[in-house]
Every structure is written in structure tokens, then in C-alpha cells.
Chain A
């Protein structure tokens, strides 16, 4: 069953239209990867889905029409976004950053504390630094924090905008392992934007190829890597 479905999604900034009526689907339990060059509209797609920029077209999430819903209400429906760059709150401690992720929850302090505990176990490095200012963490740790914080809202779908940005290859690999593990163990659906095609293809259930605001190809990772022209143009092997 499809969890997220966008039809004719169009978005941009002021007079500039970046996304041109794209169709997109994420099924439950899938990791869907959006590939594309700089300026293809990957980040804009994320923002349009999470409602942080004006958009038109139909976006349905978990049976709700969220085309006209505000970002905070979208989070309440169970869609969490890890913004591009290190979208942490630098002046809050690691723990308070995580608590900020639970702002939408109304199931009591006990449940939030239990989740806090759980993510500290999943990300031991955050546990070690839980009372430090988030701004003092390394890039990789901040990215982990941003992901853990998004998970604190107990999302059904996680949007990850270029988590590998500015990270060492080893850290990126570790990060992707975490995402895969969450997908396998918790059944978390993930919509991931990446430039690092090789890495992302490995874990993708399905891939969309974005070019200047249009989807030019889609299919399973195997199908796309089998297509010679696509492989040469986008994957570089």
C-alpha cells in the first residue's frame, strides 16, 4: 500500500518553478532514493512534500490529503524530515534536541523518556554527549542527532535530505547502515535524497532519477543499473 503519493507536484521559489509536475510514490517499508545532479530539484522535492515551501498538486500521506496542510500538522500525521545540512539546534543540548523532536507527541513523559533511552542505545555516541551543546558535535554526530531527533516524533516515513553532505566516506557508510537497520528492524519507510549514487543504490528498494525538475526514469535499483545509458550518465560506472 502506498504511504506517500504525490501527483503533479509542482513547487518553486517565488517566480522560479523548480519542480515540474512530478509523480512520486513511497510504499510502506520501502527505502526510496531520489538521485539527480545539483539543481535537479531534489531538496525542493523534500521541502514540497514536508510543506515548508508553497506547492501545488496532490500530496497524499497515509490516507490523508496533505496538499494544503501546514508543516507542523504534517509532522503530526507521521512524516518527519531531516533537513539538509546540519539542521540541529546548536544552543540546545543533545538531549534537549531529541526532546524537541517529541514536541508533537501527546503520549506522556514516560513514553518520550523510553524513546530517548532507545535512541541513546542505538546511537551510543549521542549518549556520551547528551548534555553537550549540539553545536559542539562533529558533522557526523550532528547528522546522527538530526536523524534521531526526527525519529523522536515516531514517524511512519522519514525524509532524509542528503545525509552524506560533508561527511567522510566511513561516517557516511555508518549512517547508511543505521538507516538500513531502522528500515529492516522497525519497518520505517524512508525517502532519501542523495548525490552519492553508488552507496544509495545498494539499499534502495526503488529509485527515481530527477533532472531539471522532471522525473526522467524510475524503477528498482537493479533495473536502473542495468540500463546502460542511465548507468553511464548518472552512476558513472
Chain B
């Protein structure tokens, strides 16, 4: 079969495509906080939060093959570390990110201990119990002095007052007055930077020797071990890093809303399942999968957010959703998930790859040092 297009990986055309995609991405990235309405910016922050969490989970589940239904706990560790340090000890929110990273890393590495012995469904149950226990632990009466119990904590974000109206970066103030609604672009950039950090961390790991060990463990644990992959250490690091990265969007949620409660969605098992679903819909085991899945999820739930009111539903769709008294966003997404598992088991990114391969022939980069340009055809004798 001849392909209409041929693309040489690392060639000029491939770089041009990347450049265009990158330019569009950067343009959108700057367009949102400067031109869009506060409502749109707010929705984008929600999407970015979900993206970071789903990417962190992807590192563990998509690449290492270790299932976790308890990542809401790591998200919560981030939220509460920031909440406690800011509201009780008066830290600056940014400083708390590093602490949350370390705390979540340690907890994540500890959770990896059962993962050394159990797999699949059993590991899912252990992590599920972590997700279930976390909000209860926060609400426990003996922890109230620290966590604020069921009421949670408030004043966990930035405090902009008349005297101190902005956040300056070494004396440079790109924001103007940050009081009231003006704060949205500022929060947007914090979210964007967290997403970029998580993306770069995942990319750095996945494209390296460490990433190959992770995938090796996922594909064939025994073979990985006899290739010299230290299973205990590698799984521990994967769990720890995934947990630590997942805590960052948690910190963000505390900074953004200015309060932390143990029952907010992302801190309960429902949150962990949301991370899981958007990751799978986007494409597990691919760098862009969780990003696309999260964007789609937030888009769908945001568009259908006011559909509990019959009048808000477009007339064509009213017969389908009119009976519902709650927004049908998650329901629609669930249907999308089932349909997608049927037609594209590798998610949206997997489907994209399959479609592209029909039209474009991608010629891979030469191996190793790039010394082979044409593969040897004669069998090596001698």
C-alpha cells in the first residue's frame, strides 16, 4: 500500500510540524489568560488541575502497569500540606509545594511496599482503601487540631490586601492589582507551570533508561528482573514520583479556592476514579493522553453544567436528558468511555495514531548513533 505522505522523523518536515503545533499551543496558552473571560479561565484551571493529576497517575498506571485507585489521597496530601502550612504556620503558598512533593513521595514509596507482592485487582483494592481512608483520617477527631476536621481549613491561598495587592517576581509585576476577580490569570499561570513541570518530569522519565525499565516491568516483570531491573527500587520510585507529582495539583487546589475540605471531590475516591477515567479515555501510556482526556472531560462537564434546568438543554437533546435533575456531564462521559473502549481501546491518542498511520508513513530515526542509514540486508557470516 502506498501512502500519500511520508514523514521522516527528525527531518525538516517533522520539525516544521512540531514548530507549528508548538506555536499554536503557546498562542492558546497566552490567549486564555489575557483575552478570555474569567469564567473560561476558571474552567481552564480546573482542566489543568485534572491534567496534572492524570499525568501523574499515568506515570504509574500507563507506564509501569501498577494500578492505583487511591491517587486522590496524594492529591489530598498536597492540598492539606499547603492548607496547614499556609493557614496555621503562615508560610508562603509557593514554599509549600516542595514540602508537599517530599511528603507525598515518602507516602507513595511506602504504598509501593504491598505492590512488591501483589498485583492487579489486589493492588487496586489496597490503593482503593488508601483513597477511602484518607478523608476519614483527615476528619478523625484526634487530627482536628491539625486538619480542622470535617470543616476543613480556610485562608489557605494568597492573601492580597490593600497594602499588599500583588505578587512580584523579583520586583517585576506582570499582574497589576490581584484583588478580587483579577487574581484568575495569576492562578492560571500557577496551574500552567505545575502542568508543565509534571509534563516535563513525566517526559524526562519516560524517554530515558528509567522509562524503559518502567515499561519493561509493565510488559514482562520476570524478564525485566532478569535484565537487571531492580523491581523493588524501580516500583518504589515510580510510586513515589507519581504520588509526589500528583500532590502538586492538590497544592494548587488549596491555593486556588483558599480553603480545603476533606469532602471535596478530588480528595475522595471519586476524584481518583476521575483521574483514572480521563487518563484511559485520553490514552494510557502516552504523554498527551491524560492532557487530552482531561480537556475533553472538563469541556463536557462544563458545557452540560447547567443542564439540570430543562430550558438550558438544546432542543435536540432535550428528550435524552430532560428527565435528569442533575447535570449529565459525568453520565455522558461514562457513555463516551464505554464507546471508546469498544472502538479505540488505546484511547483518543491511540485512535489518532491509527488514523494518521493510514495516511502518513512515518520513517523512524536511525538507530543508536545514527550510523545505520540503510539496514544491512546480507546475513552476517564470518
Contact of A75 among B216, B226, B231 (CB under 8 A): B226
Give B378 Cβ to nearest chain A Cβ, in Å.
Answer: 7
- Contact check, A52 vs B225: say whether CB atoms are below 8 A apart: yes
Which chain B positions have C-beta within 8 A of A104?
A: 227-228
Cα separation A103 to B231 with both chains bound (whole Å) = 12
Residues of A65-82 whose CB lies within 8 A of B: 70-73, 75-76, 80-81
Expressed in whole angstroms, the minimum distance between the Cβ of A73 and any Cβ of chain B is: 8
Q: Is the CB of A124 within 8 A of B225?
A: no
Q: Is B169 an interface residue (CB 8 A)?
A: no
Q: How far is the CB of A27 from chain B (nearest CB, A)?
A: 22
A 17-46 to B, binary, CB cutoff 8 A, 1 in contact else 0: 000000000000000000000000000000
> Is A103 within 8 A of B367, CB to CB?
no
Given contacts A99-B212, A121-B380, A124-B379, A91 and B219 within 8 Å (CB-CB) = yes
Query: Taking A89-B215, A91-B285, A117-B369 as contacts, is the C-beta distance between A103 and B226 under 8 angstroms?
Result: no
Q: Given A89-B216, A92-B212, are A127 and B227 also a contact pair (CB < 8 Å)?
A: no
SS class, residues of chain A in contact with chain B: helix
Within 8 A of B (CB), among A97-125: 99-101, 103-104, 110, 112-114, 116-117, 120-124
**Contact: A117 with B367, CB < 8 Å?**
yes
Q: How far is the CB of B210 from chain A (nearest CB, A)?
A: 9
- Which residue of B220, B226, B231 is within 8 Å of A80 (Cβ)? B226
Residue A57 interfacial (CB < 8 Å)? no
Contact A127 B372 (CB under 8 A): yes
Residue of B nearest to A83 (CB): B223
Nearest CB on B from A166, distance (A): 17
Question: Which residues of B331-382 have CB atoms within 8 Å of chain A's CB atoms?
Answer: 364, 367-369, 371-372, 375-380
Contacts of B380 in A (CB 8 A): 121-124
| Nearest CB of A to B7, in Å | 13
Cβ-based interface call for B162 (8 A) = no
Is A143 on the interface with B (CB-CB < 8 A)? Answer: no
Interface size band for B: 20 to 34
Q: Does B49 contact A (CB under 8 A)?
A: no
The answer to whether B368 touches A88 (Cβ under 8 A) is no
- In the complex, A81 Cα to B367 Cα: how many Å? 24
Question: B222 in the interface, Cβ–Cβ < 8 Å?
Answer: yes
Does A214 make an interface contact (CB < 8 A)?
A: no
B261 to chain A, nearest CB (A): 40
The listed residue (A73, A92, A124, A150) touching B216 by CB distance below 8 A is A92
Determine whether the beta carbon of A124 is less than 8 Å from that of B375.
yes
Q: Within 8 Å CB of A120, what residues of B?
A: 367, 372, 375-376
Whether B163 sits at the interface, judged by CB under 8 Å, is no
B375 touches A127 (CB 8 A): yes
B364 near A131 (CB under 8 angstroms)?
A: yes
Cα–Cα distance between A100 and B372 once the two chains are bound (Å) = 20
Contact with B along A115-143 (1 / 0, CB 8 A): 01100111110011011000000000000
Contacts of B371 in A (CB 8 A): 117
Q: Are A99 and B209 in contact (CB under 8 A)?
A: yes
Chain B residues engaging chain A, CB cutoff 8 angstroms: 209, 212-213, 215-216, 218-220, 222-231, 285, 364, 367-369, 371-372, 375-380
Q: List 17 A-B contacts (CB under 8 A).
A: A50-B226, A71-B226, A76-B228, A87-B226, A88-B220, A89-B215, A89-B220, A91-B285, A100-B216, A103-B209, A103-B212, A110-B369, A117-B372, A122-B380, A123-B380, A130-B364, A153-B228
**Which A residues fall within an 8 A CB radius of B?**
50, 52, 70-73, 75-76, 80-81, 83, 87-92, 95-96, 99-101, 103-104, 110, 112-114, 116-117, 120-124, 127-128, 130-131, 146, 149-150, 153
Other than the given A99-B212, A124-B379, 6 more pairs (CB < 8 A) read A50-B226, A75-B228, A92-B212, A99-B209, A113-B368, A120-B375
For the complex of A and B, list the 5 residue pairs with the smallest distance between their C-beta atoms, beginning with the closest.
A75-B228, A104-B228, A131-B364, A113-B368, A87-B223
